[in-house]
């Protein structure tokens, strides 16, 4: 099966840390010893149970160990199969879940160094997000500054559920650093589980947990807009990753209606939330939580009222679609082109030089 739209930029793939042991060479002596002496377990988050069907597509699942841990398979299955010219690695190893900010910062740093050595150095089509531990904003900013020197890092990665809503002023130094260094802020599905994963408590089933990720994205969008993050950092791009996007129109209708009624509470928000989202927020394509029929899906795209919002993603190795059917049927070619290439380039300024280089070589 060939993919009908090669040459795209895949904005959400998940190379996996094969085991905690793989990070040991990237930890300093103190933390290496802690891991061994304390018999630490893997930091794989319960957001993606190892053997749940959603976590790894059957044909992308190795006989042993986590899917996405093997470079050759990622090259073949995530890059070659879709003809992607580049892909952005969002590593989901659960450092954001730890309660010790020292330990979390040490592991975040190790992941970024591991990512640069084991993946970026070995496959020129790969780019990556800087994993930070927002448990300490100060250390997170240090890590952003440290990694930003490497142009292959194009984004800062946060989880959609943490300790506080992400619009809170507490987190603003992270946005200042990202804006200053030309990095997008990527907010990915997943929880630190420092709060219950729904606003009414802990659900019984994993199905509810995964469905509720979309609700958390809605809450974060509300927070980022209402706190005025985009007034303060107008050049900042926030990318919602593995968020679903079909909820966006209805959420903006509601938020914009309340903004009309309650803007006296947040007078710094001087544009309608729907306008702010169109200029500063982007969403990855997968999963497409869409209606079953093509006509309804097209109407839903019409409700988005912009062709600039969506960024191509496969969400590899998560099982969101079969074969290479990453793009919903029936979208106009011009929109597909924007989703595949133009929108990612406009969102991630750090991707452009590499693309120019590829083009020159081709010419």
Partner 1 sequence: MNVQTRPTDAPAAASKLAIADGDIHPARKTTAEFFPWLAKRWQDELAGIGQRFRQPYQQGPAYPKSQPNASRRDAVPPDGHKQGSDLAFMQAQHLDPNNVALGILNPLGAGQGLQNPDFCAAMCAAANHWQIEYWTGRDARLKGSILVSYEDGPTAAAEIRKWAGNPNFAQVLMLSRTGEPMGNRRYWPIYEAAAEAALPLGVHAFGYGGQPITSTGYPSYYIEEMTGHSQCCQAGLSSMVIEGVFARFPALRLVMIEAGFAWAPSLAWRLDKTWRRLKQETPHLTRAPSEYIRDHVWWTTQPMEEPEPREHLLDTIGWIGWDRLIFATDYPHWDFDDPATALPLRLSKEQRDAFFIGNAKKVYGVA
- Binding track, positions 168-197, relative to partner 1; x by CB under 8 A: x----------------------x--xxxx
- Binding track, positions 113-152, relative to partner 1; x by CB under 8 A: ----------------------------------------
Write a three-state SS string for the chain: CCCCCCCCEEEEECCCCCCHHHHHHHCCHHHHHHHHHCCCCCCCCCCCCCCCCCCCCHHHCCCCCCCCCCHHHHHHHHHHHHCCCEEEECCCCCHHHCCCHHHHHHHHHHHHHHHHHHHHCCCCCEEEEEECCCCCHHHHHHHHHHHHCCCCEEEEEEEEECCCCCCCHHHHHHHHHHHHCCCEEEEEEEECCCCCCCCCCCCCCHHHHHHHHHHHHHHHHHHHHHHCHHHHCCCCCEEEECCCCCCHHHHHHHHHHHHHHHHHHCCCCCCCHHHHHHHHEEEECCCCCCCCCHHHHHHHHHHHCCCCCEECCCCCCCCCCCCCCCCCCCCCHHHHHHHHHHHHHHHCHHHHHHHHHHHHHHC
- Binding track, positions 308-337, relative to partner 1; x by CB under 8 A: -----------x------------------
- Please say which residue, 26 or 193, places its beta carbon nearer to partner 1: 193
- Please say which residue, 19 or 305, places its beta carbon nearer to partner 1: 305
CB of 241 to partner 1, least distance (A): 15
- Among 90, 222, 280, 347, the residue binding partner 1 under the rule CB under 8 A is 222
DSSP 80: G
d(CA 130, CA 174): 12
Q: Does 299 engage in binding with partner 1 (CB under 8 A)?
A: yes
- Please say which residue, 57 or 181, places its beta carbon nearer to partner 1: 57
- Please say which residue, 30 or 169, places its beta carbon nearer to partner 1: 169
Q: Does 160 engage in binding with partner 1 (CB under 8 A)?
A: yes
- Please say which residue, 259 or 312, places its beta carbon nearer to partner 1: 259
Q: Does 294 engage in binding with partner 1 (CB under 8 A)?
A: no
Q: How many residues in the shown chain lie near partner 1 by CB under 8 A?
A: 71
- Please say which residue, 34 or 231, places its beta carbon nearer to partner 1: 231
CB of 104 to partner 1, least distance (A): 17
Query: Binding to partner 1 (CB under 8 A): which residues in 236-265?
Result: 244, 246-247, 249-251, 253-262, 264-265
- Please say which residue, 126 or 238, places its beta carbon nearer to partner 1: 238
CB of 48 to partner 1, least distance (A): 12
- Please say which residue, 121 or 208, places its beta carbon nearer to partner 1: 208
CB of 213 to partner 1, least distance (A): 9
């Amino acid at each position: 099966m060939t993919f009908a739209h090669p040459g795209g930029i895949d904005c959400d793939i998940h190379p996996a840390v094969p085991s905690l042991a793989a990070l040991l060479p990237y930890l300093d002596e103190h933390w290496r010893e802690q891991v061994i002496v304390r018999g630490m377990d893997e930091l794989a988050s319960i957001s993606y149970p190892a053997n749940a069907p959603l976590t790894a597509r059957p044909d992308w699942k190795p006989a042993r160990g986590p899917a996405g841990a093997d470079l050759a398979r990622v090259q073949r299955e995530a890059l070659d199969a879709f003809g992607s010219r580049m892909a952005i690695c969002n590593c989901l190893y659960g450092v954001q879940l730890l309660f010790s900010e020292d330990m979390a910062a040490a592991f975040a740093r190790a992941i970024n160094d591991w990512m640069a050595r084991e993946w970026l150095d070995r496959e020129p089509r790969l780019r990556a997000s800087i994993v930070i531990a927002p448990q300490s904003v100060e250390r997170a900013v240090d890590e952003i500054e440290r990694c930003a020197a490497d142009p292959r890092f194009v984004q800062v990665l946060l989880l959609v559920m943490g300790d506080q809503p992400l619009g809170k002023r507490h987190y603003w130094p992270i946005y200042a650093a990202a804006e200053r260094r030309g990095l997008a802020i990527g907010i990915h599905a997943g929880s630190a589980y420092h709060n219950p994963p729904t606003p009414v408590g802990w659900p019984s089933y994993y199905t509810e947990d995964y469905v509720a990720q979309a609700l958390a994205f809605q809450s974060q969008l509300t927070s980022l807009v209402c706190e005025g993050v985009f007034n303060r950092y107008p050049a900042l791009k926030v990318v919602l990753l593995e968020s679903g996007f079909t909820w966006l129109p209805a959420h903006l209708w509601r938020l914009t209606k309340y903004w009309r009624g309650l803007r006296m509470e947040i007078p710094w928000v001087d544009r309608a939330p729907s306008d702010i989202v169109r200029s500063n927020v982007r969403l990855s394509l997968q999963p497409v939580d869409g209606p079953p029929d093509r006509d309804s899906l097209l109407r839903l795209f019409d409700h988005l009222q912009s062709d600039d919002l969506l960024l191509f993603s496969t969400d590899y190795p998560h099982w969101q679609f079969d074969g290479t059917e990453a793009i919903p049927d029936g979208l106009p070619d011009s929109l597909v082109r924007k989703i595949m290439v133009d929108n990612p380039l406009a969102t991630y300024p750090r991707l452009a030089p590499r693309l120019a280089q590829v083009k020159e070589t081709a010419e």
